[in-house]
Amino acid sequence: MNEYSKGLLWVISGPMFAGKTSELIRLYDRTIFANQKSIIVKPSLDNRYSDSEVATHDNRTRKSFIVNNIEELNEIVAKELPENVFIDEAQFFSSKILNVIDDLRKLGINVYCSLLNQTSEGHAFPFMDKKQDVSSLLVKADHIETFSAVCPVCGKNATKTYKIESSGNEVDVGGSNKYEPRCYEHWEPKK
């Protein structure tokens, strides 16, 4: 375990409500405990629960940098000089995140990302500029943790995100009012 070189890319992948952000925080806490310099970054688009902290669905929080644009991360890194960068909700940035992560890794910085791997329609989640999707990030990873939630219908592992009410927009930020996790059997894409 942890026998990776510097410049590690570690991805936490899965549907909504699977504990991805909790896992990101757990890994962040480990680096802090190991006296490493680490920062958490999240997109400003996701302003659920808190404006200045990264929050899980059960309200565990840590200070985070909220950026509008992933390229702002370069300025933060130049100032903070972290050994580890934790990116929450990576799917909500533009595809420029791929280059930004490549550059961080070349500097020897470890990058940990949590991401929603697929839309409620079951497609690879597109980055905000729609030029690429998260599969381009997943293939670059040294390590992928795939998390599942619990299907409220049958109690089995939920690997899908189900849209409760269709807003007509496949990529739609929201919490438990709009989405719930479902197993494959109880998930169906909304048209």
Active site residue ranges: 89
Q: Stretches 26-34, 69-77, 152-160, 172-180: which one binds Zn ion (CB under 5 A)?
A: 152-160
84-87 vs 143-146, strand pairing mode: unpaired
| Least Å from the CB of residue 148 to Zn ion | 11
Contact status: 123 vs Zn ion (CB under 5 A): no
If one asks whether residue 115 binds Zn ion (CB under 5 A), the answer comes out as no
Per CB under 5 A, the segment of 50-58, 105-113, 137-145, 177-185 that binds Zn ion is 177-185
Nearer to Zn ion, 16 or 183 (CB): 183
DSSP letter string, the chain: -----SS-EEEEEE-TTSSHHHHHHHHHHHHHHTT--EEEEEETT--SS-SSEEE-TT--EEE-EEESSTTHHHHHHHHH--SEEEESSGGGS-TTHHHHHHHHHHTT-EEEEEEE-B-TTSSBPBPTTSSSBTHHHHTT-SEEEE--EE-TTTSSEE-EEEESS--S-SS----TTTEEEE-STT-----
Binding flag, residue 148, Zn ion (CB under 5 A): no
Task: Report, in angstroms and rounded to the nearest whole number, the Rg of the chain calculated over CA atoms.
Answer: 16
Q: 60 or 186: whose CB is closer to Zn ion?
A: 186
Q: How far is the CB of 163 from Zn ion (least distance, A)?
A: 15
8, 13, 56, 111 from 76: Cα distances, Å: 19, 25, 23, 14
Is 111 or 183 the residue whose CB approaches Zn ion more closely? 183
Told to check if 153 binds Zn ion by CB under 5 A, we report yes
Using the rule CB under 5 A, is 186 a contact of Zn ion?
Answer: yes
- Please pick, from the candidates 32, 34, 154, 164, the single residue that binds Zn ion as defined by CB under 5 A: 154
Q: How many binding residues for Zn ion (CB under 5 A)?
A: 5
Q: Does 183 bind Zn ion (CB under 5 A)?
A: yes
Smaller CB distance to Zn ion: residue 115 or 183?
183
Which residues of this chain interact with Zn ion, rule CB under 5 A? Answer: 151, 153-154, 183, 186
